[in-house]
Structure 1
């Protein structure tokens, strides 16, 4: 099993992914929804076994993560990273750590998260965001108005807080899909 890392990891499915050469028209159409459009990953090909749910999941993901308004993109990536760390999804944490760093040049925050976790030393704004993500990911029913008030006090608008909630929710689901359908490996590990 891979450890948390900023380095790229590979994800290996437990079920055979859809073979693109043998995919149905519905599966091929579903796989076109990917945001990168560069290649169809084993994760996408595994989810494509159920093309309708894959399309719905991907459209929701794209809307939540790439909305033009609301929470800044770098904050979206930090929320995805923190949620993935909390849920133990090393693959997603790696992907979103790299995206966060590329948007902010703040590898110090990522390093602090990887070394000290959510209890690390962060500035007040980032700490408020991390704490909110932590409480939502660990026990959403125990989250109360005080948590969102802390974010408001750090300049987050109500719509940005709703974005944080949506990102924590979708990553809690996505992390669980990744865990149950496969596992992450270091790029150097042999299969």
Structure 2
């Protein structure tokens, strides 16, 4: 065992899904902050992400990182018509809960709790899983998101009809599909590159 392995911080995994701010430990070496090239810094889009080991792992392939981040920003921060921000975040949290990605679920559950009128639904989703007792609108959103997540061909006309019945128009349904599909991919990427770390968090 090397000195580096001995001195490596112990990762304490979270014991349950949470809205608490938890950490993430990479299994691959991130690009060191001082070693980031101009191209890699540009790919981060937001200069503050230089502090994130996750984004500095992705910076090994700056072209993919930049495309990924621009897509993420357009799905979740686009202020135009469509699904309200809180429900885009709720769909991402549901996808992450279904996939078992505790880190992503924590991030998007916090956003959903901030933007939704009833944050108790977010907590029920985290506590009870995707089968939680939810309002009709959120039930339809979770059912559609998890169908897409399980396997895209499971998502069908019945899900679209259920979403329309609870008030989603075509643009809102498209936003839901994009948020769910993106995080289905993002969860798998994060789960394959590292692990959540609750060290220092009361979990």
TM-score band by shorter chain is: over 0.9
Which whole-Å deviations, capped at 9, do the CAs of 1:6-44 have from their partners, x for residues lacking one? Answer: 11110111011011101222112212x13x836531111
TM-score by length of structure 2 reads 0.87
* Cα RMSD, aligned residues only: 1.5
Matching residue of 1:172: 184
Partner of 2:59: 48
- Structure 2 SS opposite 1:118: coil
CA distance in 2: counterparts of 1:182 and 1:126, whole angstroms: 30
CA contact (8 A) 1:20 1:28 kept: no
Which range moved further: 180-189 or 76-85? 180-189
Look up the match of 1:157: 169
| Conserved? CA contact 1:82–1:130, under 8 Å | yes
Aligned: 1:5 with 2:21: no
Where does residue 25 of structure 1 map in the other structure? 38
Matched, 1:108 2:120: yes
Q: Aligned to 2:124, what secondary structure does the other structure show?
A: helix
Partner of 1:155: helix, strand, or coil? coil
Structure 1 counterpart of 2:29:
16
User: Which of 73, 77, 85 does residue 66 from structure 1 map onto?
Assistant: 77
> How many residues in Structure 1 have an aligned counterpart in Structure 2?
187
* Preserved CA contact (<8 Å) 1:17 1:43: yes
Q: Secondary structure at the match of 1:44?
A: helix
Change (3 A) 1:186 1:105: farther
* Distance in structure 2 (CA, Å) of the matches to 1:164 and 1:50: 28
How far the C-alpha of 1:152 sits from its partner, in A, is 0.4
Unaligned runs of 5+ in 1: none
Give the Å deviation of 1:77: 0.8
Matches within 5 A, 1:134-153: 134-153=146-165
Does the C-alpha gap of structure 1 residues 89 and 115 become closer, same or farther in structure 2, counting only changes over 3 Å?
A: same
Q: Contact (CA 8 Å) 1:13, 1:181: kept in 2 or not?
A: yes
Match of 1:127 in 2: 139
Unaligned runs of 5+ in 2: 1-12
